Amino acid sequence: MSAPTAGQLTIAGATVKLCETCGGAFVPRRSTARYCTSACRQVAYRIRRGAERDCGRWTARRAT
């Protein structure tokens, strides 16, 4: 079988992963899933984009 990846656990035969945004445990529907919900995935995506383009941009837009 494939080697376990970081943040991935196997409990009672079920694969459980830890969400990279909130750190909560979840059962991924896909082996490539990294976030517990689509909301967490969007938060991580926004932060990543904001950090790459302009650190203050996203924060400034929310504060407006």
Nearest-approach distance from CB 64 to Zn ion, in angstroms = 26
Quick check: 40 binds Zn ion (CB under 5 A)? yes
Q: Is 17 in the site for Zn ion (CB under 5 A)?
A: no
CA distance 4 to 15: 10
Choosing from 16, 18, 22, 43, the residue that interacts with Zn ion (CB under 5 A) is 22
The residues that touch Zn ion, with contacts defined as CB under 5 A, are 19, 21-22, 24, 36, 40
